[in-house]
Amino acid sequence: MADDALFQPDGAQMVPTEFARGPWTPDALHGGPVAALAARAIESVPTDDPMHVTRLTLELLRPVPLVPLTVSTSVSRPGRKVQIVDTRISDGERDVAWGRGLRIRLQPADFDAPASSGPVPGVDPGAPPGPAAGYTSPAPLASYRAFHNAGAELQYVAGVFSGRGPATVWVRLAVPVVPGEEPTPLQRAVAAADFGNGVSSELDFDHFVFVNPDLTVYLHRPAVGEWICLDATTRIGIPGVGVAQSALWDVHGPIGRSVQSLLVERRG
């Protein structure tokens, strides 16, 4: 439907939809939609000069429930060249997530700088195959409608969802963050980046949970187009702890990296 989205605005609140649900329980959200909501809030804070969000960190303080959410922002580090914008997402009783965006002022177009590594098609020999070369891979958990199977489209070019080990997958939002708004490059990138631990799992979904309490995304340029590629790897370290890392691409080349800490537990 035309008004399908991850969140529906309701006055000052944002109401999550089934498209935003996570894989571990139908009563809590996937981290990707929460990251996109934080990105939207950070981008809404005006600046005197154009700026680029080069880092966004999301702290998931607890499972984000499927209830109306309140989003607030503040500039904790003002500046002409570098700024830090914080956002708080609350369920009405307590904070459920914090976001922090670091913004750097853009230089004018005639800025005399070394050769840019911006989007130039076909120049990177390490580029993954494009989304048109991809294949689908059914998710091994959560048959109910959720972000990973309805809110986003995934096209693998290496690995499978139900397998173990590294994977390379293209991700595209199937619905906007809110109705009637085209998702921004930042919103697309951070929403996709939260798939890193799931697509590159080193553990069996049936016997373990590996939840990320955080997500940090670094972007050296905005993504171009709807598709974001994750070249993702998970490493399990000391008992109960892991880290997932993803190199991020668009159809023109690399755009940045993302990292997630993992809380690893045995089911039941």
Is there a contact between 59 and 96 (Cβ–Cβ < 8 Å)? Answer: no
> Which residues, listed in sequence order, are joined to residue 55 by a DSSP beta bridge?
102, 218
> Percent of the chain beyond pLDDT 70?
93
What CATH number is attached to the domain comprising 228?
2.40.160.210
pLDDT at 1: 47
Gyration radius (Cα) of the chain, Å: 18
Confidence of residue 104 (pLDDT cuts 50, 70, 90): very high
pLDDT of residue 113: 62
In a domain, 117, yes or no: no
Per DSSP bridges, beta strands 152-158 and 214-219 are: unpaired
Say what percent of the chain tops pLDDT 90. 82
Q: Is 114 within a domain? A: no
Which of the 8 DSSP states describes residue 252?
T
Residues 19, 142, 152, 257, CA torsion sign: positive
Token pair for residue 140?
A: 């091994």
Q: Which domain does 156 fall in, by range?
A: 7-106+129-266
* Residue 245 forms part of a structural domain: yes
At 110, the pLDDT band (50, 70, 90 cuts) reads low
The tally of domains found in the chain comes to: 1
Q: Is residue 120 part of a domain?
A: no
Give, as one character, the DSSP assignment of residue 163: S
Residue 124, in any domain of the structure: no
Strand locations in 28-130 (E): 51-60, 69-77, 82-90, 95-105
Calculate the CA dihedral of residues 255, 86, 31, 182 and round it to 10 degrees. Answer: -60
Asked whether residue 167 is domain-assigned, the answer is: yes
Q: What is the per-residue pLDDT across 167-183, written as a single tens digit (0 to 9) for each?
A: 999 999 999 999 999 99
Is 1 a domain residue?
A: no
**What tens digit of pLDDT does each residue of 218-267 get?**
999 999 999 999 999 999 999 999 999 999 999 999 999 999 999 999 98
